Structure 1
């Protein structure tokens, strides 16, 4: 009996001692645990940073392996602060689009009326529109009919739908050129570089059937074949139709198509700056006139004797 009591008392004493010792150890183990947590977090941070650096290095290595070129900057005549388009170049660019680009690319957001006062007179624009036959209708009998184009009609689409366009171009869909200058990084510089940058594919680059190599096109492999060559068309004004001249004129025309308000915007800027200059001069004169008495007066204090 006494042995059992002693065993129970000893067990209780051991438990209480353990509790106290555990309490004391807990106070020390908190610091150790926090230190271990900081070490763990530091290790995780290092690992995460290393993984991020590895991903960044791989990403850069992939980009370094890419042979795409950025288009060089060209001194376009319309890029000045108050510079307008070269309208003779715009007319030649329309000729290039009509005779070369329109065979595959549409401009469904540009109407013939937009040419009036820019590249053609009203009579010339009507004649250009009248050369196209447009499907219209229905008529009184409910049937569709063909009619000559008019100023309100858009430029004709060379294909009836996207599937027909892909079938005619080995699965590639020729993009619409209405806003192509704004849709491509580099703008007109990219268009000019793309049209004049066709070359032989470097070693190791495999092209599929129907593809061509152009270093300015993302990926290098482009389904559009080189379209501009020397003397591929004849300009109405007699300008020598070299490949670079053709590319320059059509790039200018596509820039105008993307920003038809370009000249009006700069004309309005000139007017606003002129009016603002006059208002600033008048305001300065009135300020000098009104404040002259205040700025030239002399204030004197004369106390009473």
Structure 2
């Protein structure tokens, strides 16, 4: 278990309450919007995570999203579940500096990250985060796909929904037009805007669409690491009760066969 259920619940509530960055469900000013249809490997009862895509998605998060958005519920060691080796996880964790202490002299100090550390936050506190983002607090992304109606489809739509405002629409200072964001005005500038913005280590062509799909896959895995186990258990239970029902019906027919 990655975190205590109560902590996940609190984080989910915080994600639902946060109004900046990734916003709220795709509904604006009373206007219900149908998200564009997009399919992921984890859709359906037999769905599963594409771990290569999720690994690339982590790279997108690390190089782009992590500049503003935290993921408080994840530790670097959780990346082992994506297929990364212990050495790779330790190397990733060691690229950040975290505060630790106090030492023997009672002083806090900086050290290289360890696999057991939580993902480092881009800001020391919420006030610093607001100050750096024109007063808006970028939401934590640990449970973002569970906190937004539409899940990965909403994240995909939001990240690909930036465009020039229609004629007659005036944006407030510092805002950007996004056709899938509530009210269509979002403070977050388009984070993934050009091909090659992230250089994938596996050689995959980093188009905007590919980067968006990969980070959507990663964020869904982060929010629901148990998804594959849950679906596998569901299939087993369906098969079990189907067989049990068949046996019960056969026994009933046998017992009551001579009763007219």
Residues 106 and 297 of structure 1: CA distance in aligned 2, closer, same or farther (over 3 Å): closer
Given that 1:211 and 1:223 are in contact with CA atoms closer than 8 Å, whether structure 2 keeps it comes out as: yes
Match of 1:48 in 2: none
Distance (whole Å) between structure 1 residues aligned to residue 28 and residue 81 of structure 2: 48
Match of 1:185 in 2: 149
Given that 1:68 and 1:216 are in contact with CA atoms closer than 8 Å, whether structure 2 keeps it comes out as: no
Match of 2:206 in 1: 241
Q: Does 1:260 align with 2:225?
A: yes
Q: What TM-score do the two structures reach when normalised by structure 1?
A: 0.70
1:64-99: per-residue Cα shift (whole Å, max 9, x none)? 987784421212221111211111111111011011
Distance (whole Å) between structure 2 residues aligned to residue 249 and residue 112 of structure 1: 18
Q: How far apart are residue 123 of structure 1 and its match?
A: 2.8
Q: How far apart are residue 284 of structure 1 and its match?
A: 4.4
Distance (whole Å) between structure 2 residues aligned to residue 208 and residue 297 of structure 1: 80
Pick the structure with greater CA Rg: 1
Given that 1:68 and 1:215 are in contact with CA atoms closer than 8 Å, whether structure 2 keeps it comes out as: no
Query: CA RMSD, aligned part only?
Result: 2.3
1:97-117: per-residue Cα shift (whole Å, max 9, x none)? 011100111111111122113
Match of 2:52 in 1: 88
1:137-167: per-residue Cα shift (whole Å, max 9, x none)? 1122211122222222111110111221122
1 or 2 for the larger relative contact order (CA 8 Å, sep ≥6)? 2
What secondary structure, in the 3-state scheme, does the structure 1 residue paired with 2:99 have?
strand
- More helix, by proportion: 1
Distance (whole Å) between structure 1 residues aligned to residue 119 and residue 259 of structure 2: 72
Distance (whole Å) between structure 2 residues aligned to residue 216 and residue 69 of structure 1: 8
Match of 1:71 in 2: 35
Quick one: which of 222, 237, 249 aligns to 1:272? 237
Q: What TM-score do the two structures reach when normalised by structure 2?
A: 0.81
Distance (whole Å) between structure 2 residues aligned to residue 288 and residue 114 of structure 1: 52
Q: How far apart are residue 185 of structure 1 and its match?
A: 2.0
Q: Does 1:217 align with 2:186?
A: no
Given that 1:231 and 1:240 are in contact with CA atoms closer than 8 Å, whether structure 2 keeps it comes out as: yes
Structure 1 residue runs of 5 or longer lacking an equivalent are: 1-62, 299-305
Match of 2:20 in 1: none
What secondary structure, in the 3-state scheme, does the structure 2 residue paired with 1:116 have?
helix
